[in-house]
Amino acid sequence: MFFYFFDQALADGDDARQTYMLLLTAISIMGFMFTFGITLGSSVWPYIGMMMPPSGVTLALVINWVLAGGSIIAFSFVTQVMGNPYVMMWVYCGVTLVTITIFTFISVDVKGLSVRKVQLQLQ
């Protein structure tokens, strides 16, 4: 989204706004990296091993990589068809918002529970 505003500032020739947008983009990326590192974002895979059988972990990994590849292909395709990447960026933002909302309600709190109790909650 910030790159869209940067492009608009570039088209307008507004140097101050370009600098502001680049700084805001850098701060947003650093904020994402910080929150990813201190939350469950970086530690999901060890938890999956506790809650799923090995075949389920394998399936989750395969689905993760297939969907990651599919999103790259979809991004390239839509960018070529639409002429700019901003449509897909808004799609990704919408998908992220929807999944955050869904997982807020279906997440299981595993703090202090044994593996067996977690598995019983998931059934």
- Assess whether pLDDT exceeds 70 at residue 4: no
> How many residues in total does the chain contain?
123
Dihedral angle of Cα 41, 47, 49, 55, to the nearest 10 degrees: -60
Alpha carbons 2 and 42: distance in angstroms, whole number: 25
pTM, two decimals, is: 0.48
Report which of residues 22 and 58 the model is more confident about.
58
pLDDT attached to residue 5: 66
